[in-house]
């Protein structure tokens, strides 16, 4: 059977609904293997799933593939809502990303992320200090969630005490693009639009309050140091700040929790990390491959008919790039289902690739490395109390909702 035959049969048509089915959240990997066998799998709703490394990487670099949902032939509920540069194409995307990058990384602020090393270490240690006297913790609530949230609040210049408000906005927003069957998508998208608007207004006001009073955070930089090309419009600023706050809330938590879960399931790897902490950067890369916090990218659209692995994806049709399937592709990775923190050839897709590749990757990487180093050093006798744990709802941002651990004590 050729890839084209497979794509036109009904067989893989239910694959996406099985991938998004919450019952499969603990272990979607057999479904991803099935997807790779199909090459490209056309779904009953007209979307196309792609799960092989070579094809995903090529599509992420292909200018005929749009990240802007306004290019879809099927009208999209979120049309017209101001979205950030993650949902725009070049040259608009490039312009907005460059403005956002100005206070965050090279070329204008090259040392910004590395300079946060000590601060992030202090945040991690403080959170672990707070666990003294406990013999049972929830790694998510007690550590993996508050750590990146505190960091992104400091980076952006958002008061940490407002966190409960944007926790709710953030959850509502990600539910808006959750493809899990069973809930009314129109209702979820309406709620998401409202959350996005409220969050944008809140962040826009915070930035405005800093105009003329520069401080060392991104919101301040956006209004006080906009750069040679004039910076953001008020709406662009709001959309970008929302994106950064959401990305800081909803992704790194999974990296930390998926790392802890994977190490506790692989005692040899955990022991290796105890003995050779210098392997930590490679361990984090391996988790980004093996259990990626962002499993799939659901919002690409073909701008013209595009051939993918022998299948013609028609103009205007949605493309779903399943990064987590590409990360386990045996044509790209040796022994892909093995977790190997010493893996060398590890060009995973965990941060995407191409023009939209993750903006926050340097920050997420050091957060993950610092968090796991601190946990391994300071948690005495950690053990999983529930395996598999209860997962978050989203098949896109996949990770445990809670990770109950037993601990024998906390080391200084
Ligand atoms: C482990 C944590 C993280 C993972 C796995 C992750 C993953 C990703 C992925 C896969 C993309 C590509 C999206 C696409 O191509 O459509 C992306 C884009 C992006 N990420 Fe991250 N991310 C993480 C943390 C962060 C953090 C902490 C920030 C903020 C500081 C951030 C900000 C962004 C932004 C702004 C984009 C859009 C880039 C663009 O469109 O040019 N991410 N991320």
Predicted local confidence at residue 182, as pLDDT: 66
Distances (CA, A) of 383 to 15, 139, 370: 34, 11, 20
Q: Which mutation among 326, 358, 392, 396 tests ligand 1's pocket best, with the greatest number of atoms within 8 A of CB?
A: 358
Asked if residue 252 has its Cβ within 6 Å of ligand 1, the reply is yes
Model confidence at 77: pLDDT above 50: no
Q: What is the pLDDT of residues 147-178, one digit of tens each?
A: 999 999 999 999 988 988 888 888 888 887 77
Integer Cα distance of 293 and 386 in angstroms: 20
When the pLDDT of each residue in the chain is averaged and rounded to a whole number, the result is: 92
User: Cα separations (Å) of 254 from 280, 291, 403?
Assistant: 17, 9, 11
- Grade residue 76 by pLDDT with cuts at 50, 70 and 90: low
CA–chain centroid gap for 351, Å, is 7
Which atom of ligand 1 approaches the CA of 300 most closely? 16
Residue 262, both tokens:
């994977």
The secondary structure element, H or E, covering residue 237 is: helix 234-250
Distance from the CA of 249 to the center of ligand 1, in angstroms? 11
CA–CA distance, 400 with 325 (Å, rounded to integer): 19
Residue 384's H or E segment, with its range, is strand 383-384
Cα 357 to ligand 1 centroid, rounded to whole Å? 7
Ligand 1 centroid – CA 14 distance (Å): 28
Look at residue 254 and tell me whether its pLDDT is greater than 50: yes
Q: What pTM does this model have?
A: 0.94
Helices (H) and strands (E) in the chain, counts: 17, 12
Ligand 1 contact, 202 CB (< 6 A):
no
Q: Which one-letter DSSP state was computed for residue 330?
A: T
66 pocket-lining for ligand 1 (C-beta < 6 Å): no
With CA atoms as reference, report the closest residue to 77 among 196, 165, 237, 201.
196
Q: Which letter does DSSP use for residue 391 in this model?
A: B
In angstroms, rounded to a whole number, what is the distance separating the alpha carbons of residues 398 and 392?
7
| Nearest atom (ligand 1) to Cα of 363 | 27
Least confident window among 114-118, 190-194, 267-271, 374-378:
190-194
């Amino acid at each position: 059977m050729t890839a084209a035959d497979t794509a036109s049969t009904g067989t893989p048509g239910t694959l996406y609904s099985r991938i998004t089915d919450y019952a499969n959240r603990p272990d979607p990997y057999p479904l991803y293997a099935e997807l790779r066998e199909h090459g490209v799998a056309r779904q009953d709703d007209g979307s196309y799933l792609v799960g092989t490394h070579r094809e995903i990487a090529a599509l992420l670099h292909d200018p005929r593939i749009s990240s802007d949902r306004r290019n879809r032939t099927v009208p999209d509920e979120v049309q017209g809502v101001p979205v950030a540069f993650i949902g725009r194409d070049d040259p608009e995307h490039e312009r907005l990303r460059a403005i956002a990058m100005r206070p965050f990384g090279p070329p204008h602020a090259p040392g910004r992320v590395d300079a946060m090393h000590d601060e992030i270490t202090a945040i991690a240690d403080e959170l672990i200090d707070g666990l003294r006297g406990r013999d049972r913790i929830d790694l998510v609530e007690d550590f993996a969630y508050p750590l990146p949230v505190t960091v992104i609040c400091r980076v952006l210049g958002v008061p940490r005490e407002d966190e409960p408000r944007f926790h709710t906005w953030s959850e509502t927003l990600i539910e808006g693009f959750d493809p899990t069957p069973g809930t009314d998508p129109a209702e979820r998208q309406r709620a998401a639009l409202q959350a996005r608007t409220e969050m944008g207004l809140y962040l826009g006001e915070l930035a405005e309050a800093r105009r003329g009073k520069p401080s060392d955070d991104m919101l301040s930089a956006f209004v006080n140091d906009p750069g040679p090309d004039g910076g953001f419009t008020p709406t662009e600023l709001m959309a970008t700040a929302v994106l950064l706050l959401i990305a800081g809330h909803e992704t790194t938590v999974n990296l930390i929790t998926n790392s802890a879960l994977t190490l506790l399931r692989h005692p040899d790897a955990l022991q290796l990390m105890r003995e050779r902490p210098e392997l930590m950067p490679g361990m984090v890369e391996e988790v980004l491959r093996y259990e990626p916090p962002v499993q799939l990218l659901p919002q690409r659209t073909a701008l013209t008919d595009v051939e993918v692995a022998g299948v013609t994806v028609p103009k205007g049709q949605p493309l779903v790039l399943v990064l987590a399937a590409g990360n386990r592709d045996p044509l790209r990775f040796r022994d892909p289902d093995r977790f190997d923190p010493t893996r060398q050839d590890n060009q995973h897709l965990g941060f995407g690739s191409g023009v939209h590749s993750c903006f926050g990757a340097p920050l997420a990487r050091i957060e993950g490395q610092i968090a796991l180093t601190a946990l391994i050093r300071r948690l005495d006798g950690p053990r999983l109390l529930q395996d598999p744990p209860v997962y978050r709802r989203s098949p896109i941002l996949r990770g445990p909702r809670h990770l109950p651990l037993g601990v024998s004590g906390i080391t200084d």
